[in-house]
Amino acid sequence: MALCAMTMYAEEAVYQDIVYSLDLNKMTAEVSLNPRVYGELTIPATITVDQGDFQVTSIGDNAFKGAKDLTAISLPSSIEHIYRSAFEGTGIMADKENWINGALFIDSLYLIAADKTIKPKYEIPNFTKLVAIGAFKGNKTISKVTWSESVKVIDHETFKDCKNLVKLVIPQTVEWIGQDVLTGSGLYLNEKKWKKGALYVDGCLIATNKNIPSNFVFKSKVPVRLMACNCFAGNKSLKSVTIPDGVQCIPSAAFYKCENLTKVEIPSSVTKVEKFAFYGCGKLGEALLSDNVTSIGMGAFYECAALQEQHLGNSIKEIEKATFFGCALMEKINMPDNLEKIDDGAFRGCAELDEVRFPQSLTEIGEMAFAGCNKLTGLQIPKQVLQIRQGTFEACLSLREVELPYGTYSIGEEAFKGCVNLQTINIPESMFRIGARAFQDCRSLRSIYLPDEVQEMEEGAFQSCQALGKVRLPANMQDLPEAAFADCKALSELVLNEGLENIGNGAFYGCSALQEIKLPVNVLTIGQESFANCKSLKKVVLNEGLESIGVMAFSGCTNLTIPSVPEGTAVAHGAFKGCKK
């Protein structure tokens, strides 16, 4: 529905027979589709599932739609958003006792919907805690609404298409306004209410249109204190904006895809920038934040390709998902002293970012967080970061040196894949796992020390590390995965550990400098094409306990004299194809 309401849900879970959508990033839950529920329900404030404890914050779109036997529901105080559509066709909506003066209430606190019996001049009761998304949408009766001081939020589409609504009274207590709250209403359609392409209500900027001046300055009868979500979204006329002092929040998608926006002056009163606020503003070169900003939402500056610099205050503890994704010209970013988390894709594609200094407070760097940061040359990872996640530094083309602290136990899939100039990286003694293709195409990596504590190595971990000359496998490794060192053309010295049992398919495929191999006594299987096209291989000593040699295992080893195969070893088709007799 609304871009502002978008959340990255990872998966669903069932708790006490109710289906929830989980936001694994924020550890929140939304009640999902439950059309077959009946009777009386109680929604808890927190649910506990396999992934942990999640706070229930919203009732989703169509959550209980059509559940005609659902007669009552109790909602927790943690609820922040409810969709009107969640209760369409339910017994709750059909029960006249739930309607008060033309408005449907749940728990006598949550205003869900309105019908034609509502008074034209309606005052939302002071006992109201929350008004649902689209609660009055399409209502043809109301002409004036006075918002209650007890409700701090005017949610998305609240009065959309209310053709006869000509006046809305917004008290100073309202703290946030969603998108399309008045779109299609009588107030919205009244051209006299628009001032130079902007619609204001009681000091709140509700919307703008194509008639705004390219260099926009807020002009309202009373000081502007709030901006609605999406208030400038998609406006191609806009080139610069000066946000007035007193505004505390730049709301979700406020400047979404304002393609010609080049400059935004942000006052020190702003403390929060919500998700997607400047999403897709490709020409935005100046939008400097003050030290007073305490949070920046997911994708806030997504693909702001012209943004060269940004300042982050020390109150910021998390850089959320894709916050600066695709800021291709960004050269400088300071990391706040108290920063704890850099989330997935936060700086992905920041090709000009040439220096990053992590604070010691940092505990987590997300997947693909710095992927494609082509100018980063060196990294010192703080001691509290225990995992390098999937693709975190993938394709950092200038990266030459990485210092991992003791305590790091996992390097994820493709973590350093394509770092073609990476020459040195220390693998601490605490390392347990190296993920699939973690160092694939690290062509300048000449040596690697693998501690004995490493027990898991996944497919293609060092594939195409063409400068890698020497490898000693960890003492505790039993299974060498598929293509682990495939196409390591400089690999000339290989020490296999005594505990090794299985050599995976293509593990040393194309290692053309390898000349001699002696299998440890515990090796049971040699996978297909494990040593295929090792053209310099001259000697292989097979162990007595060997059970099988896979298809084409040594094929193309043109300098290899076929070794003596232990009795009982199963030799597959083409295992020594092309070798000397």
Whether residue 306 contacts residue 282, with contact meaning beta carbons closer than 8 Å, is answered with yes
Instruction: Please determine, for residue 556, whether its predicted confidence score (pLDDT) is greater than 60.
Output: yes
Write out the two tokens for 239. Answer: 């080139």
CA-to-CA dists, residue 199 to 143, 183, 196, 203, 208, angstroms: 18, 11, 9, 10, 6
Q: Which residue type sits at 34?
A: N
Give mean pLDDT, residues 413-423. 97
Q: How many domains does the chain have?
A: 3
- The CATH number of the domain holding residue 406 is 3.80.10.10
Instruction: Please determine, for residue 351, whether its predicted confidence score (pLDDT) is greater than 60.
Output: yes
310-348: per-residue pLDDT in tens? Answer: 989 999 999 999 999 999 999 989 999 999 999 999 999
Domain boundary among 94, 110, 129: 94
Q: Are 457 and 521 contained in the same domain?
A: no
Give mean pLDDT, residues 527-534. 97
Q: Are 477 and 542 contained in the same domain?
A: yes
Asked, for residue 242, whether it belongs to a domain, the answer is no
Give mean pLDDT, residues 505-530. 96
Asked, for residue 64, whether it belongs to a domain, the answer is yes
Q: How confident is the model at residue 24 (pLDDT cuts 50, 70, 90)?
A: confident
pTM of the model: 0.90
Q: Are 336 and 422 contained in the same domain?
A: yes
Q: How far is Cα of residue 133 from the mean position of the Cα atoms in its chain?
A: 25
Asked, for residue 263, whether it belongs to a domain, the answer is no
Q: Are 334 and 460 contained in the same domain?
A: yes
Write out the two tokens for 222. Answer: 């009373």
Coil, strand or helix: which one is 567? coil
Write out the two tokens for 448. Answer: 């690697």
Whether residue 425 contacts residue 404, with contact meaning beta carbons closer than 8 Å, is answered with yes
Q: Are 452 and 312 contained in the same domain?
A: yes
Q: Are 410 and 526 contained in the same domain?
A: no
Q: d(Cα 347, Cα 385) in Å, to the nearest integer?
A: 17
Closest CA to 413 of 454, 443, 452, 458: 458
CA-to-CA dists, residue 7 to 171, 177, 229, angstroms: 29, 17, 15
Q: Are 455 and 485 contained in the same domain?
A: no
Q: How far is Cα of residue 391 from the mean position of the Cα atoms in its chain?
A: 13
Cβ burial, residue 501 (10 Å; 0-12/13-18/19+)? middle
174-184: per-residue pLDDT in tens? Answer: 999 999 999 99
Asked, for residue 422, whether it belongs to a domain, the answer is yes
Asked, for residue 572, whether it belongs to a domain, the answer is yes
Q: What is the DSSP string of 449-473?
A: ---TT--EE-TTTTTT-TT--EEE-
Domain boundary among 429, 452, 468: 468
Q: Are 510 and 525 contained in the same domain?
A: yes
Q: What angle do CA 297, 301, 306 make, to 5 degrees?
A: 165
More confident residue, 137 or 2: 137
Q: How confident is the model at residue 2 (pLDDT cuts 50, 70, 90)?
A: very low
Whether residue 164 contacts residue 140, with contact meaning beta carbons closer than 8 Å, is answered with yes
Provide CB contacts within 8 A for 131, sequence distance 6+: 110, 111, 124, 151, 153, 154, 155, 158
Instruction: Please determine, for residue 4, whether its predicted confidence score (pLDDT) is greater than 50.
Output: no
Write down the pLDDT at residue 220: 87
Closest CA to 121 of 186, 152, 165, 171: 165
Q: Are 458 and 480 contained in the same domain?
A: no
Q: d(Cα 553, Cα 560) in Å, to the nearest integer?
A: 12
Asked, for residue 316, whether it belongs to a domain, the answer is yes
Give mean pLDDT, residues 155-165. 98
> Quick one: which H or E segment has residue 295?
strand 295-296
Q: Are 500 and 358 contained in the same domain?
A: no
Asked, for residue 230, whether it belongs to a domain, the answer is no
Instruction: Please determine, for residue 3, whether its predicted confidence score (pLDDT) is greater than 80.
Output: no
Asked, for residue 239, whether it belongs to a domain, the answer is no
Q: d(Cα 340, Cα 74) in Å, to the nearest integer?
A: 36
Q: What angle do CA 175, 180, 183 make, to 5 degrees?
A: 125
75-111: per-residue pLDDT in tens? Answer: 999 999 999 999 999 999 999 999 999 999 999 899 9
Domain boundary among 42, 59, 94: 94
Q: Helices in 403-558 by DSSP H: which ranges?
A: none
Write down the pLDDT at residue 223: 93
The fraction of the chain above a pLDDT of 70, given in percent, is 98
Closest CA to 509 of 475, 462, 563, 544: 462
Q: The domain containing residue 322 runs over which residues?
A: 308-468
Write down the pLDDT at residue 355: 85
Mean pLDDT score of the chain, rounded to an integer? 94
Whether residue 335 contacts residue 311, with contact meaning beta carbons closer than 8 Å, is answered with no
Q: Are 320 and 427 contained in the same domain?
A: yes
Whether residue 306 contacts residue 284, with contact meaning beta carbons closer than 8 Å, is answered with yes
Residue 55's DSSP bridge partners are: 28, 46
Q: Which residue type sits at 95?
A: D
Whether residue 355 contacts residue 331, with contact meaning beta carbons closer than 8 Å, is answered with no
Q: Are 529 and 406 contained in the same domain?
A: no
Write down the pLDDT at residue 6: 34
- 9-18, 129-138, 341-350, 387-396: which has the minimum mean pLDDT? 9-18
